[in-house]
Structure 1
Amino acid sequence: MSYNQSNDQRYFNLHLEGFANLYDARMVTPKPGQSFEPFLQVRATFLQGKAEDAQPVFVDLKVTGKTAKKIIEKFQSEIADRDKKVNAVLKAGDLRFTASSPGQGQEVRVFTSARLLSIKYLKVDGQQVNLEQFNDAGAQATAGGSYQPQAQQANPAAANANLPDSVTLDPEAPDFKQRKAELKAAGYSWNRDQGAWVAPQSRQAPENQAAPAQGDVVRLDKGQPDFAARKAELKSQGYRWDRDQQAWVRPAA
């Protein structure tokens, strides 16, 4: 289709739609010298790729959809609580990419933002939410009540996905520092044993972690940035290099 002056007022709308994990819902207010109106913002970790190895895409969302705003406001405390998991299928638009102004010796970071238009699916702390109650008619029917969990139905595979258990970063990648910062903001922590960043739900409390069995065999990758530190740690724990197994072995007691 060709365009001419008669339709110069048309807009090209690029939408982002997919499954995401929500966190850090908050009101953004202007600082001294700024003149924008306060707005509701939520951070979303969209997932893409195979469910067993999905990669996170971090997007800051300004909540502009009328119904979406009601939903985020209703569950703002749950979204902000890192001990609770909030999953959603979102539709966002007006994507923008903003580059930071790095200081000397720093790398340029690119931040992605968009406007949250609608929420098509929501699961709060293991319970699927009936979103119809947030429509005008549904809101009148449930006014004054708590949110209504919806009976579990067959959902697409993406709706059952969670944050990927672990994410491996390439230290040589140009966006390494940015992705590392985003993972830390999402609650990931570095796991030396796996050589990867591990999602919050994958972590266990120290008292629940099984103690390493005697006679353990550990293989290290010399290409990992923490190779020297891990080698020293193993030696301090009594591990010895075994040429036959090409691994570090801790003798059984």
Structure 2
Amino acid sequence: MSTQNNQQAKYFNLHTSGIGYLSDIREIKPTKGKKGDSYWACRIAALVGPADSAEYRVFDMNISGEETVQLIKRCQEAVEAKKKVLVSFVMGDLRYDTFTYSKDSEYHKKGDTGISLKGRLFRINFIKVDGELKYQLEKRQSAEQDN
């Protein structure tokens, strides 16, 4: 539980950390007639399980915080070039959303219900592009952001 700015408001935070492959970096703009500001989003296919036979859990995340937005935007060119962009990340506000498939695919039929895992991406600990380290969060900075 954390309190911000010595105010009485209290929050219960659920943070999830992992390592995964970054994809689908995009700016979301409100559709015509809708209010609100544009924001950035991405997908991360998080690695789960033994290193020699890992599985993926795909998270669709809104990006929070100017520094995190800038780090992800720096990766956009590499992602579009189909390079392997591996990130260590921390997300909050994990939730799910259901949807209905609009067409048949290899795994689902039109009309089937699907589930999308969503969250708020708020910290990047490292970025590697094709195995080369491009960014590393300083340990001191990481500890400060956890408070």
- TM-score w.r.t. the length of structure 1 is 0.45
- If asked which structure has higher relative contact order (CA below 8 Å, sep 6+), I would say 2
Q: Which runs of 5+ in 1 are unaligned?
A: 1-7, 134-253
1:119 paired with 2:124, answer: yes
8 Å CA contact retained: 2:95, 2:119? yes
8 Å CA contact retained: 1:65, 1:117? yes
> C-alpha separation between the residues in 2 aligned to 1:93 and 1:79?
23
Q: Partner of 1:207 in structure 2?
A: none
How much has 1:20 moved relative to structure 2? 0.6
8 Å CA contact retained: 1:18, 1:46? yes
> C-alpha separation between the residues in 1 aligned to 2:64 and 2:87?
16
Q: Which runs of 5+ in 2 are unaligned?
A: 1-7, 103-109, 139-147
Q: Aligned residues, how many?
A: 125
Runs of 4+ aligned residues of structure 1 deviating over 6 Å after TM superposition are: none
1:9 paired with 2:14, answer: no
- 1:143-188 CA-to-partner distances (Å, cap 9, x unmatched) read xxxxxxxxxxxxxxxxxxxxxxxxxxxxxxxxxxxxxxxxxxxxxx
Q: Partner of 2:42 in structure 1?
A: 42
Q: Partner of 2:107 in structure 1?
A: none
- CA-based RMSD of the aligned residues comes to 2.3
How much has 1:52 moved relative to structure 2? 1.0
Larger Rg: 1
How much has 1:78 moved relative to structure 2? 1.1
Structure richer in strand, relative to its length: 2
Identity, % of aligned pairs? 27
- TM-score w.r.t. the length of structure 2 is 0.75
Q: Partner of 1:108 in structure 2?
A: 113
Letter matched to residue 135 of structure 2: N
Cα 1:94–1:52 change in 2 (3 A) is same
Cα 1:10–1:23 change in 2 (3 A) is same
Map 1:64-213; keep pairs closer than 5 Å.
64-82=64-82, 84-101=83-100, 106-131=111-136
